[in-house]
Structure formats: structure tokens, C-alpha cells
Amino acid sequence: MLLSLDTPTELENLQRKSLREEIFAVLHHKIIAGKVKAGDWLRQEDIATQLGVSMTPVREALDLLVSVGLAERVPYRGVRVPQPSAEEIAEAYAMRLLLESAGARAAALEREQVRVAASKRILSQMKALVSLDDMSALRQLSRQFHQSVIAMGNNAMLDRFYEMAINKFPDWMLYEYLFRHPDALESSLKKEYEEHMALIEAVEAGDPDQAEACARTHIYTLKEELVSFLEVEKELLESKARLFGASFAAG
């Protein structure tokens, strides 16, 4: 049955939602493509003028960017693209290592086939995205995949902590690196897909040890990319991970 929009307000809200998401997609792509740099301000008035839209959907699009970690609000100054320090990046890496390892175990123990199938559909979409123009969509799908695995563990508190950690992790900076170094694109995406697939297969098999091992392997790959792409010191990353036990720092 078709939904009936009975009032002008309902129609206006629907149109505004669509516009908000379109503006979000435009800004998201510009950040991933490096057209908007870390530390740059996202001025609401300028964006509205450039896109020829009102301020309201721009403000809502900026709220969405903040919610996924691609922007931050600075009190009394506005919204800007984050410029995380090496220390902050290392802390986010360590938290992802801890939470995704635990989350993978929980997912393997609590999995439901319908949720496993949904995660596999996300991977199918990702496999088809192989060009530089796909980087923005890939980043969003990768985020959805990881969150879908964490959600299988049926632990609402873990979900919340993980969202905080992933919002602080500079994955968008890694994708932006691929824009500047397309020669690394094919091998990076192939490795990412293989590691994601190994993880979901271990979850589907109900093997918590293997699922945890796959999660760690994937985060260790991200560590190497942080070192190679963003020039974060490996020793700093490992020292932060070591706070959660020596085994987390290896790999």
C-alpha cells in the first residue's frame, strides 16, 4: 500500500530528508576524495550558497557528517573536518582492536542466519565497487559491515562503545590516500574483501576463536596502512594496544 502524505508539512519533511542525504553524499565524497582537507571548516552558509539550497538541509547534512565521524563541531566556531593527532589515531586503533575482537567472538556465538545473510549482501555490494569514484560508497558500506558484525553479538553496550571508537578512527583518511595513490587501490580493496569474507565465514560457522583471529588480522592490516599511508609510528600503535594485553600488540 502506498503511503499517503496528507499535509504539506509531511511532504516538506520528506523532500528535506532526501535533500539532506544528497548534500551529505556530496560532502562525504569531497572529503574522501581529498577535496576538503583535514582541518578545513565546513561553513553552512557557503555550502548552502554553492549548492543553491536553504540552510536547514545543510545543517542536517552536517549533523550526519558529525554522526559518522567525518566532521566535528567546535563550540562557538562551527563544523570542520577532524584533524586527529597521531596519539588519537593510535587510541582509536587500540579500541577497535579490543572491541572488534570481542565483538567477533560474540557474533560467532550469537549469530542468526538472517543477519549473516545481510552482512554478506553488504560484501557483495562492496565487491562491485572498484574505482576511485566508489571510495565514498565503499567507506560507508565497510562501516555498515563492521557494525553489522558487532550487532550480531546482541550487546547494546558494545554497540555503543564500538560506534564511538569507529567514529574516531580515521578510515576516511585511508580512503583519501587511495585517491592520491591509485596504484595501491586494487591490492588494498582485494585484501579488504578477503579479510571481510574470512571474518563473516568464521562467524557463520559458529567458530569464535577463528572469528576473533580474523577480526584481529583485519585490524592489524589497518595498522600497517596507518603506518604506510598516514605515517603513524608503529611503536605508538603497538604501545596503545599493549595496554589491553601483550597479545593485542603483536601481529
**Per-residue pLDDT tens digits for 104-126:** 999 999 999 999 999 999 999 99
Residue 10 has a pLDDT of: 42
Residue 34 has a pLDDT of: 87
Q: What is the pLDDT of residues 153-174, one digit of tens each?
A: 999 999 999 999 999 999 999 9
- Residue 250: pLDDT above 60? no
CATH number at residue 17: 1.10.10.10
Domain boundary among 64, 80, 96: 80
> pLDDT category, 248, cuts 50, 70, 90?
low
Residues 200 and 139 in one domain: yes
Q: Average pLDDT, stretch 220-241?
A: 96
Rounded to whole angstroms, how far apart are CA atoms 17 and 57?
7
Domain boundary among 80, 114, 142: 80
Residues 28 and 107 in one domain: no
Range of the domain at 240: 86-249
Instruction: Quickly count: other Cβ atoms within 10 Å of residue 159's Cβ.
Output: 16
The whole-chain average pLDDT of the chain stands at 90
DSSP code, position 80: E
Residues 154 and 229 in one domain: yes
Burial degree of 68 (CB within 10 A; 0-12, 13-18, 19+): middle
Q: Average pLDDT, stretch 10-31?
A: 76
Residue 15 has a pLDDT of: 55
Residue 11 has a pLDDT of: 43
DSSP code, position 4: P
